[in-house]
Amino acid sequence: MRSSVLSFPDRGKWGKNSWRGNCSGHVYKNLFEQLPPSEIVDPMMGSGTSIDVAKEMGIDAYGLDLHAGFNILRDSILERVGKPADLVVSHPPYGGMIVYSGNVWGDPHSDDLSRCKDDDDFHEKLQLALLNQREATLGGGYYGTIIGDWRRQGKYTSYQAECIARMPGNELAAVLIKTQHNTMSDSKTYASMKLPLIMHEYILLWCKPKVIMCYLQDLADLAQQQQRRLTGTWRNIVKQVMVNLGGKAELKTIYDKVAENAPDRLASNPNWQAKVRQVLNQGRDMFSLVERGVWSLAA
Ligand SMILES: C[S@@+](CC[C@H](N)C(=O)[O-])C[C@H]1O[C@@H](n2cnc3c(N)ncnc32)[C@H](O)[C@@H]1O
């Protein structure tokens, strides 16, 4: 059945049982049966589960990994494989949940995605990995990733949400939920925890357009999409501040309230006061200048 929820308690005979954080071969089998691709690339193959499944199904398969000398942050998948594939699917580390280099294999490697310095570093590098996968995908084919979220020390990080937000919105093709079985946290006691244990992962699939007019234009579109999101966020921050101030306020009061409400945004933008003025001046559908230095929400 074609369902967006997958559950396979058994991981099957493919790949290596002992490879920490590996994925059930049945997930790949299900995916390959549904699409079905004529060749697949897994640029972070780990113990090779996806490759074993594909080969068994008669699908051409190319497996790459940092432990085998391929670095998705520096090497082109397309160049390494030599031709685009109709499915390029990865299963990256989930942040530092399981550290691979120097632990599961070999020596510590600074480009190992499980050794990122923080969440922002990981999100940015995973976006680069997905763009590399996209480049190696045949027009009309699929690129995707299997990823879980992570809660540690009370902080929830949604890697899947970041992936969706950072990739072209018009290419998102499917979001599948995969039930997780036998997780490490499963066996621990979380007596005092109010929130549910994370018992699922995601399979995210994007479809690459059949025709891409110009590679650089294509990436510029993605940057513009991100810019629009950022501008929209700033407009909403200022609008929420205005709502909070009763719909009318002096510029100085707006600055104070923005500083109180949006510390993260401010830290990343040293020119935030200019940004607030720009949002007010350019958002005349939302904001009106009532008198010098005093703004209100537009009627
Ligand atoms: C979750 S494991 C993949 C497990 C695999 N699906 C399996 O069933 O065995 C993630 C893999 O990503 C690889 N990796 C981490 N950083 C990488 C990088 N920069 N380039 C390529 N592979 C990387 C790790 O070496 C690890 O094998």
Instruction: List the CATH number of the domain containing 179.
Output: 3.40.50.150
Residue where a domain terminates, one of 195, 212, 229: 212
Q: Are 169 and 206 in contact (CB under 8 A)?
A: no
Q: What is the mean pLDDT of residues 208-228?
A: 85
Dist. CA 115–CA 94, nearest whole Å: 10
Q: pLDDT (tens digit, 9 = 90+) per residue, 106-125?
A: 999 999 999 999 999 999 99
Q: How far is CA 93 from the centre of its chain?
A: 12
Output the domain CATH number for residue 267.
Answer: 1.10.10
126 and 98 share one domain: yes
Residue where a domain terminates, one of 193, 212, 231: 212
Whether 193 has a pLDDT exceeding 90, the answer reads no
Nearest CA to ligand 1 atom 8: 22
Q: Are 232 and 252 in contact (CB under 8 A)?
A: no
> Torsions phi, psi of 21, nearest 5?
75, 20
Ligand 1 nearest-atom number relative to CA 101: 25
105 and 26 share one domain: yes
| Helical pair 215-244 and 251-261, crossing angle rounded to 10 deg | 110
pLDDT of amino acid 160? 97
Burial of 131 (0-12, 13-18, 19+ CB in 10 A): middle
288 and 207 share one domain: no
CA of 115 to the centre of ligand 1 (A): 12
175 and 238 share one domain: no
178 and 44 share one domain: yes
CA of 172 to the centre of ligand 1 (A): 23
User: Residue 190: which pLDDT band, with cuts at 50, 70 and 90?
Assistant: low
pLDDT of amino acid 267? 67
DSSP 14: S
177 and 205 share one domain: yes
CA of 165 to the centre of ligand 1 (A): 22
Residue where a domain terminates, one of 212, 235, 262: 212
Quote the domain boundaries for residue 125. Answer: 5-212
pLDDT of amino acid 141? 98
pLDDT of amino acid 259? 86
42 and 11 share one domain: yes
**Which two tokens mark 81?**
């494989």
201 and 238 share one domain: no
**What Å distances lie between residue 231 and 57, 154, 271, CA to CA?**
47, 30, 14
- Mean pLDDT over each residue of the chain, to the nearest integer: 92
Outline where the chain has alpha helix (H).
Answer: 25-34, 49-56, 77-81, 119-135, 159-166, 184-187, 215-244, 251-261, 263-268, 272-282
User: Residue 184: which pLDDT band, with cuts at 50, 70 and 90?
Assistant: low
Give residue ranges with CB within 6 A of ligand 1.
Answer: 15, 19, 21-23, 43-47, 49, 65-67, 70-73, 91-93, 100, 111-114
Q: Which residue has the higher pLDDT, 234 or 81?
A: 81
CA of 110 to the centre of ligand 1 (A): 14
CA of 220 to the centre of ligand 1 (A): 29
User: Residue 220: which pLDDT band, with cuts at 50, 70 and 90?
Assistant: confident
For the sheet with 172-179, list strands across it. Answer: 5-6, 172-179, 200-207, 137-147, 85-90, 39-42, 60-63
Ligand 1 nearest-atom number relative to CA 42: 6
CA of 33 to the centre of ligand 1 (A): 23
146 and 262 share one domain: no
> Torsions phi, psi of 275, nearest 5?
-65, -40
97 and 141 share one domain: yes
CA of 238 to the centre of ligand 1 (A): 42
Dist. CA 90–CA 204, nearest whole Å: 10
Ligand 1 nearest-atom number relative to CA 49: 8
pLDDT of amino acid 260? 83
User: Residue 217: which pLDDT band, with cuts at 50, 70 and 90?
Assistant: confident
pLDDT of amino acid 188? 54
Domains: count for the chain:
2
260 and 125 share one domain: no
Q: How many CB atoms lie within 10 A of CB 120?
A: 11
Dist. CA 160–CA 137, nearest whole Å: 20
Whether 247 has a pLDDT exceeding 50, the answer reads yes
Whether 268 has a pLDDT exceeding 80, the answer reads no
198 and 225 share one domain: no
For strands 60-63 and 39-42, give the pairing.
Answer: parallel
User: Residue 186: which pLDDT band, with cuts at 50, 70 and 90?
Assistant: very low
Which of the listed residues 90, 112, 159 should we mutate to test ligand 1's pocket, taking the one with most ligand atoms within 8 A of CB? 112
Ligand 1 nearest-atom number relative to CA 19: 9
